Amino acid sequence: MSVHGEKAEEILCPSARCEKDAILLGVLDATGRLGYIRPALRIDDDFVAGASGGRTPEERFRFAQPCVEGGCRNWTGERCAVIDDALESGAGTDSLPACSIRRTCRWFAQAGLSACAVCPLIVRNVRTADPSTA
C-alpha cells in the first residue's frame, strides 16, 4: 500500500506512546494545545526515563511512531478513527502547524489539511489506552 508515495510501514501515527526511537512531535502547553518541534527529534531511553516522572508523558508531549493499522484499537479496518472523531467535533485552528512529519502522517494522508487544523488540539488518552496497541 502506498500513501503519498510512501510505503505503508513508513506512515506515522501522530499519537503514539513515549517509547525509545519515537519521534517527539511537540509539547502540550497549559491550554492543552500542541507546540510543534522542528526538526523531528527521536527520543532515547534517557528521555523516556526523565519524562516518565509525574504525569504521564503523553499528557505533556506528543509522539509519532509507525502506524500499526489493524494492530491499533483505533483502526476501523481502513482508516484511523482518532482523526475522524476529531474532525466531527468541529474544532480546529486557522493556521497550519509547522509539523515535522506531515508528508508521512497517517492523519494527513487520510484527511489532508483538515487533519492538520485539529491536530494541535488532540491529546492522547493514556488512561483508557490498551497497552498492547499503538
DSSP per-residue codes, 21-48: T-EEEEEE-TTSPEEEEEEEEE--HHHH
**Structural domain boundaries of the chain?**
2-121
State the average pLDDT over residues 17-33.
Answer: 94
DSSP H helices in the chain: 45-51, 81-88, 106-111, 113-118
pLDDT tens digit sequence for 69-128: 999 999 999 999 999 999 998 777 778 899 999 999 999 999 999 999 999 988 876 554
pLDDT-based confidence at residue 130 (cuts at 50, 70, 90): very low
pLDDT tens digit sequence for 35-63: 999 998 999 999 999 999 888 999 999 99
Question: Which residue is listed with cell 509539523?
Answer: 99
Nearest CA to 13 among 108, 132, 113? 108
pLDDT at 95: 82
Phi, psi values for residue 69, rounded to 5°: 45, -110
pLDDT at 127: 55
pLDDT at 114: 94
Give bridge partners of residue 105 from the DSSP assignment: 12
pLDDT-based confidence at residue 4 (cuts at 50, 70, 90): very low
Show the cell assigned to 125: 488518552
- Read off the pTM: 0.83
d(CA 125, CA 123): 6
pLDDT at 126: 59
pLDDT-based confidence at residue 10 (cuts at 50, 70, 90): confident
Predicted confidence (pLDDT) at residue 22 exceeds the cutoff of 80? yes
Show the cell assigned to 92: 480546529
